Chains A and B, each alone.
Chain A
Amino acid sequence: MANCLSDFPPGPLDKYRKLASFDWKQLSLFLNGEEFLNYRNELYNEILKYSVLLEQTDQTPTLDELRRKTTQKVFALKLVRDSVTARTNCNYADMSFAESSLAYLLDPSASVKRSVTFYMFTSVIASMGTERHRHFIENCLNGEILGCFGLTEIGHGSNTRGMRTTATYDPASRQFILHSPDFQAAKCWVGSLGQTATHGAIFAQLVTPDGIKHGLHAFVVPIRDSKTLVPYPGVKVGDMGEKIGLNGVDNGFIMFDQYHIPRENLLNKIGDVTEDGRYVADITDPNRRHGAALGNLSDGRINITSVNMCYLSKAVTIAIRYAAVRKQFSATEDDEEIPILEYQSHQHRLLPHLATFYAFRTFCKYLLEERDKFQLLLNKKSIDVHRITNTGLELHAISSACKSLAGWYARDAIQECREACAGHGYLKASGLGELRSNQDVCCTYEGENHVLIQQTSNWLLRLWPLVLKGKSVSTPLNTVEFLNRAPQILTSKFTPNSFEELTEPKNILDTFQWLVCYLLKLSFEKYESLKQHSLHSVESKAFWAKNDSQVFYAKSLSIAYIQHLILTAMSDKISKAADFKIKTVLEKLFALFAVTCLEKHIPFLYAGSYASGPTAAVLIQDSILRLCKSIKNDAIALVDVIAPPDFIVNSVLGYSDGQVYKHLEAAMLRAPGALSRPSWWKEITNWKKNIHSKL
């Protein structure tokens, strides 16, 4: 068995640990697999070799100092990854999740910065460039040049078609001339651009000498001299200053003033400009070219899904361990005080989030594996273009929804955990504040959630006409195979009458299939009817109909679709559990996640006449409470399975020894200057001399 799982130090958490109905190591092994655990262990041990990664500070440093430290960590983390991947051969899915669960939790800023500096830059070049750009990739991965990824502009983010930076080809000098017409067209938010990047993968409108615009294309653009870090003439580049979180990352803005770069720096896989200035491209349709130019953004979204879940796991680790130790109130004066984990309301606030992690854990693995298979397909340059395209689209639909949903789940979980730790949760040393500030942005970058999730419903809506025509629906990843039974599903009814029936996996999946069919049908009908009765001009009818069908029902549709997929992945995994105890606890978590999701859809169950009478609503609520109660005694062991190592938990409330008060005491007394007078004490005692009113 995995010897990488070591026991926890004894302490106040023992009481609950002993109550657990299963062996946490067994569960960890089953859930994660040996390969993952070994890889994570290697990674962890490697991290421990770098002193800069081990530094912990009680006090927020200045922005400049933070940037400096973060940059050092970026290089350290890169070396860690290089050396571990070189000596282990771990599959992509496990490796990627392990990175999220360690590096991203250890230092989100450094991990994000590492990602843009080395991986995003190179992956744009790899997917859109050709042989002539290979040296950029090599130079970057060797750390000789530092990259960044520049798409967003001040005036345009989600609407990439509206980007206004131009790259005009000048046949005389055989160069592209990059130009930002005004401040609104400045590239901004570009991670690593603020202070450090020497090169950027920059997206701009390609313009040929005849004045024709050919849409967005990516260029490799030198920004700073790597020996002096001084920007080249013709670019005005700067740092955006302080943000809510991720302050270790130097997000920057840049404006080009007729800035020349070599013709060869155009990443020319989808389109190229000849020396004499003619545009040549395989794809002639500009719309399709736009899609291709942005390349495959699913990867980033799939990763963010895991990262969000790891953020969530850290928050619930802290809050649940604290809840098991923190006591407040007793039944009568003579009784013992009660751990707050025992309160129904507290269980209900925390345990569903724990279940969320478990549900996503298997889903993430599934998704990362699918992503990996897709990459193989691409690498093989397989002739089946059709299949490649369709797989890409389905992955896009999946990742657009799960990235958004994971972001919202993590956001809500972190906030609830923060509140659940009440006063002490508000200490910086609880770790929850920074977690929140760093996670927050996951709802915005790599596709703003509310804009992104529309992609999923768009994809689904294109399938519904097949159903209406009675044609078969078949997609490469088989995520909506059940649409073929849509007519029957839509006439089915909610049947469960008891807790057991409600939480039975098959019934759960049936209910979600009904939801997807129902919401898809409604979204489609709403869209069509809006379009038909629209008073807008012919060309904009579809645009408005799409916008006005988002609240109802497209957003809910995307959510239900992805929840169904997550539940399917989890139930497949559970069916493989041999150990009865493990199976039982996972079934409870499955049910808790499922029923909590379902709770939000109750009005649809009624509106669609799937359910009627009070039973459904009452049953769903009662089941949630019942599940919370029955998971409560396992909660600490379940947290032990998903908790990062103590050094990465890095929270006085959440260490595995449960010695909350000892850690609190140490933190409060240790803080530099905690017990001394402030250096400016005289300004207070002599304040009458210092301060003069102007009134």
Chain B
Amino acid sequence: MSADTSFIEDLPAGPLDAYRKKAKFDWKKLKLVFEDVNLLKMKLKVWNALEKDSIFQRPEKELLTKEQKRIAALQLQQFRKYKFMPTNGQKASIKDRARYLMTINEALAAAYPDVSVKQALGVFLFQNTLATLGTERHQHIIEALWNRQILSALALTEVAHGSDAKNMRTTAVYDKETQEFIINTPDFKAAKCWVGNLGKTCTVALVFAQLYIGDQCYGLHAFVVPIRNPKTLLPYPGIIVGDIGEKIGLNGVDNGFIMFQNYKIPRENLLNKISDVTPEGEYESRISDPTKILGATLENLLAGRVGTMQESANNLACAVTIAIRYAAVRTQFGPSNNEELPIIEYQLHQWRLFPYVAAASILKIFSTAAIRHYLNVIEISHTETTVDNLNDMISEVHAIISAGKPLTTWACRDGIQECRECCGGHGYLKAARFGELRDTIDARITYEGDNNVLVQQTSNWLLRQWHSVLEEGQVCSPLSTCSFLKDHLVILKFKFNGSTVQDVKNINFITRCYQWLITYLVKITHDKQTALLEHSKCKFTARNDSQVYKAAILSRVYGEFVALKYYWKRINRNDVEISLRPILETLGILYGLSCLDKHLVYLYQGGFANNHSLSELVKNGILDVCSLLKSDVVAVVDALAPPDFVINSILGKADGKLYEHIQAEFFNNPGAMSRPSWWREIKVDNAPELKIRSKL
């Protein structure tokens, strides 16, 4: 049975046809491996609507940042009015509904990142938190949100504390007399900051503060806090709220700061699913099952992170599309004076770009899988029944995503930069779009959990698994991402004994390498921590001093392994046609080898490879696969690419008419060919008359 691809539009003819014709597969079918049919249709619906909508027209001239904020706010309001959800969507399961919402935001993010950030924070994540940490008494807020009556914000970060949430200093003191919480910000360092939508537009925010009853601190809790009068947008008395000013990117988002001065909110505004304060001022826990608490808290964190993974994978896909299409059309140098070559023909250029095409493919599928697992555990934790290993499952999903978010965002960062450089001077034009892509991904490295801090969560989990292997001979890996650890004795004896490129260009070799690497790294990290602990007696120090070359690499390697694992699973599903297998495997192997190339040191250091040819074989393997990919790569990016309107780059359009688009851009730029308004300031009156004779 062949998938129906008729809803996917054909691509316009042009200079890219030469390479398109060489492809050995149907790009539309490949697209349906990268994307779920129904979700893809939904995204196309979103994009089609936006392309026609005047509010979403791209500005001709650059906008001042305050103007960008205005446009983004208007676009968000417009977007919220659209009804993209399928008619049966409202009745769908929690899981399906969430998936639809994520997809709608994903579509928005690919074309309008600022608006999507505003929506994600101000609507979806807010709603998510209310649903998971709030109770019936907060239902009316959720309704107002759906009725588009309010826009919100999530305020966790403070000026002096970001990653370290425990030490946040905003307080919410319970006042028995009035049955209110009194919120205070001790000083500027404790001001909430970076909060998206808070700068100019939100009317309510979810604020995380240390809950106090009397002198007793009960830790960080979430409160619904009214910020501005919805009719006037003026802040309420008792708070100082403002916009944090210009940023590197995402300037349509009004990130804000806020300081509270004896600001009172009703007792009911505490989100009280996990714990509550009674009117009399008693603190009480409401959920006894710790796994449910864990689930509820993590759900909020993870939602943003899986979303970030997906968006980053999409951005990477967008960047490689631009660079590959450019490389296939751009010619430079040649074997003889009258023959020029497209730069895609240069091995060096392939080496720079193709691994990122592979990465985009793998990471797109990986992030889809991560979302599926995330939604699964959410669904299970929302059912009343207790599932035995839910706790373990949640931990594992958490570990996957804590490695996956950094892996994806960093790959995207590096890929975008390489693509920008691969397009030479023209890549530096704003209209090429790499600047915006880079500035957007840059923020993702930091928010939703700073990458360098986040990876520690994964290594901690793996170290716990290692511990239980050593103690009990088993691992708690219900999703079996690291169940192989129990065979560590065998795995650590693996040796590389290949001698030809064929010996490395296969998934078995790659899998063996990864299993060995993970086992080896978890072992040496553990050993190092144990030694440090003995020496310093301080767990904190032991952990910190075993990050570089140990724990941090461990998380990375694990992330790559899991990404490949899910990719391989996907391409072996029976809906994938035989004709697609070769290209899909090529991409997988290229990703695997180009990642391994960065870890060769460990393979030598740990004795996996004594054979000195390993590094050469891996590198030659990459070159081989690259040259294999060359005739297919344009079709691969066709499968990865969203429509031109979304890519929004004069270098990356599907028709490949590169120079026509550059010309149109230059000639149509407003004012491009007129004198500057300030020309008198630089004219020279006493300039010597120089001979110039024009043809006139």
Contact = CB atoms under 8 A, between A and B. Distances in A.
Interface of A: 58-60, 62-64, 67-68, 71-72, 75, 135, 139, 143-146, 152, 154-159, 161-162, 173, 175, 177, 183-184, 188-189, 195-196, 198-199, 222, 226-230, 232-234, 236-245, 250, 253, 258-262, 327-332, 337, 343-346, 348-349, 411, 415, 418-419, 422-423, 425-429, 432-433, 436-437, 440-441, 443-445, 448-450, 536-537, 539-540, 543-544, 547-548, 550-552, 555, 599, 602-604, 606-609, 612, 614, 617-618, 621, 625, 661, 664-665, 667-669, 671, 673-675, 677-678, 680-681, 683-685, 687, 690-691, 693-695
Interface stretch (B125-133, B630-638, B674-682): B674-682
A426 B442 CA distance: 8
B527 interface: no
B336 to A, nearest CB: 6
9 contacts: A259-B694, A345-B547, A346-B452, A422-B163, A423-B162, A425-B446, A674-B242, A677-B232, A693-B78
Nearest to A264: B691
A547 B348 contact: yes
A674 to B, nearest CB: 4
B480 interface: no
A59 B65 contact: yes
Nearest to A335: B540
A598 B162 CA distance: 35
B55 interface: yes
Nearest to B332: A159
B389 interface: no
Interface string B75-86: 001100111000
B159 A609 contact: no
A599 B194 CA distance: 37
B69 A678 contact: yes
B290 interface: no
B665 A241 contact: yes
Nearest to B670: A241
Contacts of B301: none
Contacts of A156: 332
Contacts of A671: 242-246
A184 B64 CA distance: 32
Nearest to A327: B160
A674 B243 contact: yes
Interface string B171-207: 0000000000000000011000110000011000000
Task: Please give me the 5 A-B residue pairs with the lowest Cβ-Cβ distance, nearest first.
Answer: A540-B335, A433-B248, A244-B435, A603-B615, A617-B605
B430 A244 contact: yes
A687 B77 contact: yes
Contacts of B471: none
Given A440-B420, A444-B425, A602-B601, 6 more contacts: A195-B675, A240-B672, A241-B672, A344-B547, A345-B547, A675-B242
Nearest to A430: B248
A139 B600 contact: no
Interface in B594-641: 600-602, 604-607, 609-610, 612-616, 619-620, 623
A289 B540 CA distance: 66
- Categorize the interface residue count of chain B: 35 or more
Contact of B162 (A144, A328, A678): A328
Contacts of A344: 544-548
B202 to A, nearest CB: 10
B340 A162 contact: yes
A242 B60 CA distance: 11
A241 B430 contact: yes
Contact of B243 (A158, A183, A673): A673
Nearest to B620: A552
Contacts of B452: 345-346, 349, 419
Contact of B682 (A71, A239, A331, A445): A71
A59 B246 contact: yes
Interface stretch (B136-144, B233-241, B391-399, B461-469): B233-241
Contact of B430 (A243, A260, A441, A681): A243
A68 B676 contact: yes
Contacts of A329: 163-164, 167, 540
B454 to A, nearest CB: 12
A660 to B, nearest CB: 9
A152 B193 CA distance: 46
B484 interface: no
B363 interface: no
